[in-house]
Structure 1
Amino acid sequence: MVQTTDHSQNSAENLIYYTIIATWLLWLIGGLYIAGPVLGCILSLQALYFYYIAPSLPKAKRLTTPHWSVSIWLVSMIMMLVILVAGHLNFSLGTGVIIKSTIGWAKGWLLIALFIFAGAVLPIRAEIVCRAICRTGKYTIFLLPLFLAAPFVGLPASLWVSPLKIIGGSGPEYFATILYTLEPGSGVPRWQFFAPWSPAAGMIGLVYLVCAIQEKDRGWRSWGIAAALAMIILSQSRLALVGLVIVAPISFLFSQVTRPWMWFVILPFVLLAGWFAIDILEALNLAKSEFSGARADSTRVRETLGRIAVERWQAEAFWFGHGIVERGPHLVEYMPIGSHHSWYGLLFVKGLLGLFALAIPMMVTLALFLRSALTSALGRMGLSLALLLLMYSFGENLESLAYLYWPALLLIGMALQNCRQVQPS
């Protein structure tokens, strides 16, 4: 009998499928922060096990060698640890702090590489990931009335904080069951769903949208897209709305770019853009000002945090960084220096070498996807997700949310492995 998308064909697909559809249950018990790293480790160990026993397996069941770009991710994330330890030694932070920081590295930067590696080498179908996300979307729509009504019927914003927080983490928000938050000053409700904060929910909504668009079943696709749009809009994240306009159409544009009619459609817009360039630039500057002014206090804090991170990186820890995150002054509401921005965070904590450790694999990945997206649906999905990560690297710390957006990392790994098939011989 032919297997359908509803049926997992191996243990790796089972683990991935049921972990995704258990998202809301894990959120309720505060287990999402644990489930992501545990799943990443299990999948990677499973891959290593099959490599170890490969000589005793039939050739058809052996795992393929990872694409060289996957190795760049693994080496770069391991270099993050070397750089991290060097930063600790430079500031004499002690063995205990090194151990604690190493655990944090394993739950963040290493986890990114592990999921990309697992997606590349294990026999996982992208359809399984997309179907599971669409099923989770259906559950999200069912729960939506509760979330929408909560701030208006007097339900508490936070239901509880799971005792699982004892295992450690960046803060209690990773283990909290929160129905909504109120915007400081205006008191307008925002929703974060199963994410630790609202902008992160917008990011996950974009990941879900990219995946839901690829679902072949019209019914499941509708559930997935509806849930993704709800997360993006109700999060009220400015970056998510920008991503909705930029990232979502990427797959369609690259699927049509080799067709002559597309260029005839684009040409008039290019000519008009040249004639009205000055007006367009003025409109973009106005839009940027309105974008920043929508939450002026948030923009001010983010810009100040970035400025402090760059100044202290240049003056105190150019190559290897400070090794640890530090709280900022009252001016930035005591937010961690370099937070809300992966690149500023890397410069402050891991220095210029740490920034290169992320920039190199990310640029290699994007370059490969720009080519494979022309001929491969998986390549187009990989490009959309890689662009999404690049965009959010300027608004979030990618390592702190890897436990949530790990399905995107799996699909990026699959798309990188697929680059082997689309390259000319």
Structure 2
Amino acid sequence: MFAFNPPVKTRNQSNSKSEAKSFAERIIYWTIVLTPVWWLLGLQTIIYPVVSAFLLIAGLRLDKLIKKSLPICNWAWLGMVFAALWTNIFGLETIGFEALKTAATLFTLFKGYLMIFACMTLPFWHRIRVQTITRAVSLMATSYSILLTIQLLILFGLGPQEHFLPPLARLIPGEKTSLMVKFAEIQPFFGIPLPRTDLYTADPPILGVCGLLCFFMCLSETNKNWRKLALAGSFISLIISQSRLAWVCFPLVWLIIYCFRSGLARQAYLWVISIISLFAAVLSLTIKDLIASPLATFNSARADSSKDREYIVSATIDAWKESPWLGWGIMEKTASWGNGAFVLPLGTFSSYAQVLYVHGIFGFIFFVTALISTLCSFWQPAIKGNQLCQRAFGCLIALYLLIHATNLTWMVIYFWFFFIWLGAILSQLQQQGLDVTEWEELSNRF
């Protein structure tokens, strides 16, 4: 273990070093910063997985696999890729490998689990620094404020506008709904009409997830002005998304970070159980009643949406029970309600139900292993005082709650940079091997 004493840099020295980006850093940096351009062109679902796959292949060297071992969580995500592929093949075989369905299934795997593995592995095969990703995300998050202001001016000045399909998106085969550029519109929330928008994403709740993750990533931005703008943009996008679960997860992440910094992390579960039991005793309620009451209020904010999600998830679980071990392999079955007015594929919402339905218990074991191993990778450094790992740990807890309401393989394309950030932190840990005191000094700089 070597001593690490970061030299004090002047502003000019810091700027000159930040400009000396590696080839991979430059590509990732500008891909993140130019997010509004890809959105307006309709290229988001193509460019992010292509960039991550290209850099992964470009950085693949046998000596790197031998000399620089990847964390267990990276291998777990690769295992999930192969588990998903195996069950996908079984499912596609039942329909004779129909061309369009096969292409759609494999592309979903490509822009889902494979992209997660690629993003978390890139920092181990290329020089990709945490501060580079943070600066790029800060600039992108700042654009949230600009675009949201423009959308609200259009909404209140010109009224609701028709969505449109970008020109290049027309060339991409398959479903086009997620490629539409949508404007802000008024939707009821607790019966109050309020503006809501998707912005760069395919669905408002995904914008809430992005806003939450970007907020805690941008806390590490060293430039005070960019940090303020990025935090403002992230918070505004979180609010306007009207994502109830993201709102709940936002203070939860702060609570987790506080527990780490106050030394309560090891006893956190005891505090939570004790506090819940205390409230239940004081109010003469059972634990079930205590949870049910706020949950009913939570669901009443967007009652129709909550009922639709509950119906689809329930139908997904019922379909999984028909093929519990290997699942169905593909998302082919649908559920309809309202006399056929609404039709959605099973597995549309909860990632946990979707993995069971598509990949069965076999795939679910790999999925849970990947989630837990990723979380555990940040636990020990977080306990030892690494602030970056504390934020990463809190964000992962929030993400694991959020994917219960929205499919991970559908929305990960919009926060792919989060997994590069995670990989960069783990790579930095591996390369520097800092002890607790040194990590505290380093993390305090961010």
Q: TM-score, normalised by structure 1?
A: 0.87
Q: How far 1:52 moved relative to its partner?
A: 4.8
Aligned-pair CA distance for 1:226: 0.4
Deviation at 1:271, TM superposition (A): 7.0
1:228 and 2:234 aligned: yes
1:132 and 2:144 equivalent? no
Task: Tell me what 1:115 maps to.
Answer: 119
Moved more, 119-128 or 225-234: 119-128
Please give the secondary structure, in 1, of the residue aligned with 2:221: coil
Partner Cα separation in structure 2 for residue 381 and residue 311 of structure 1 = 37
Distance in 2 (CA, whole Å) between partners of 1:270 and 1:94 is 50
Aligned-pair CA distance for 1:21: 1.1
Q: 1:323, CA displacement in angstroms?
A: 2.1
Deviation digits for residues 35-78 of structure 1, max 9, x if unmatched?
21121112211221xx25879xxxxxx98332233122112222
- Contact 2:169 / 2:179 at 8 angstroms: preserved in 1? yes
Give how far 1:232 is off.
Answer: 0.5
Question: Paired residue for 1:28?
Answer: 40
Residue 363 of structure 1 deviates from its aligned partner by 1.0
One of 293, 317, 320 as aligned partner of 1:286:
293
Greater Cα shift, 249-258 or 209-218:
249-258
**Alpha-carbon displacement from aligned partner over 1:242-282 (angstroms, at most 9, x marks no partner):** 111212443343233279xx99x999998766543333855
In the other structure, the counterpart of 1:213 is 219
Cα root mean square deviation, aligned:
3.1
**2:56 corresponding residue in structure 1:** 44
Task: Render the CA deviation track for 1:100-147: whole Å, top value 9, x for unaligned.
Answer: 422221122211111111134422111111111112232322333212
Paired letter, 2:346: I
Q: Distance in 1 between matches of 2:276 and 2:160?
A: 50
- Aligned pair in 2 of structure 1 residues 248, 297: CA closer, same or farther (>3 Å)? same
**What is the rounded CA distance, in whole Å, between the counterparts of 1:396 and 1:203 in structure 2?**
10
Judge conservation of contact 2:29–2:136 (CA < 8 Å) in 1. Answer: yes
Counterpart-to-counterpart distance in 2, 1:29 and 1:254: 42
1:323-334 alignment runs, 5 A limit: 323-331=330-338, 333-334=342-343
- The whole-number CA distance in structure 1 between the counterparts of 2:394 and 2:174 is 28
1:63–1:46 CA distance, 2 compared to 1 (3 A): farther
Question: Per-residue CA shift, 1:385-423, capped at 9, x if unaligned?
Answer: 322321122011111122211111112223344564369
Kindly indicate whether residue 349 of structure 2 is the aligned counterpart of residue 351 of structure 1. no
The reply on whether 1:393 has 2:410 as its aligned counterpart is: no
1:411 to 409, 416, 421: 421
Higher deviation after alignment, 210-219 or 320-329: 320-329
**Conserved? CA contact 1:17–1:129, under 8 Å:** yes
The CA distance in 2 between the partners of 1:228 and 1:138, in whole Å, is 8
Q: Does 2:222 match 1:203?
A: no
Larger deviation: 225-234 or 77-86?
77-86
Per-residue Cα deviation, 1:300-336 (whole angstroms, up to 9, x for no partner): 1111111111111112454232423433223482022
In structure 2, the CA distance between the partners of 1:406 and 1:269, relative to structure 1 (3 Å rule), is closer
Paired residue type of 2:19: H
Q: Displacement, 1:290?
A: 0.3
Q: 1:80 and 2:90 equivalent?
A: no
Letter of the aligned partner of 1:409 in structure 2? F
Structure 1 residue 157 displacement after superposition? 3.1
Q: Does 1:11 align with 2:23?
A: yes
Give me the whole-angstrom Cα distance separating, in 1, the residues matched to 2:295 and 2:154: 33
**Superposition pairs for residues 231-250 of structure 1, below 5 Å?**
231-250=237-256
1:59 corresponds in structure 2 to none
Secondary structure of 2:83 counterpart = helix
Name the amino acid aligned to 1:20.
I
Q: Is the 8 A contact 1:120 1:415 kept in 2?
A: no
Give the AA of the match of 1:359.
V
- Distance, in Å, in 2 between the alignment partners of 1:292 and 1:253 is 29
Cα contact 2:331–2:346 (8 A) shared by 1: no
Call closer, same or farther: CA 1:98–1:266 in 2, change over 3 Å: closer
- The 3 A distance-change label for structure 1 pair 12 and 283 is same
Q: Which moved more, 1:227-236 or 1:152-161?
A: 152-161
Report SS of the residue matched to 1:19.
helix
Q: 1:195 to 1:169 in 2, by over 3 A?
A: farther
Q: Which runs of 5 or more residues in structure 2 are unaligned?
A: 1-11, 437-446
Rounded Cα–Cα distance in structure 2 between residues aligned with 1:405 and 1:255:
27
Q: Report how far residue 182 of structure 1 moved.
A: 3.9
Report what 1:253 is aligned to: 259
Preserved contact between residue 158 and residue 177 of structure 1 (Cα < 8 Å):
no
Map 1:301-312 → 2, pairs under 5 A: 301-312=308-319
Question: CA 1:182–1:142 in structure 2 vs 1: closer, same or farther (change >3 Å)?
Answer: closer
| 1:276 and 2:283 aligned | no
The residue aligned with 1:365 is 374
Q: Is residue 157 from structure 1 mapped to residue 157 from structure 2 by the alignment? A: no
Q: Does the C-alpha gap of structure 1 residues 336 and 269 become closer, same or farther in structure 2, counting only changes over 3 Å?
A: closer
**Percent identity of paired positions between Structure 1 and Structure 2:** 21
Cα distance in 1 between the residues matched to 2:276 and 2:368: 31
For 1:45 and 1:404, how far apart are their aligned partners in 2? 22
SS in 1 for 2:164: strand
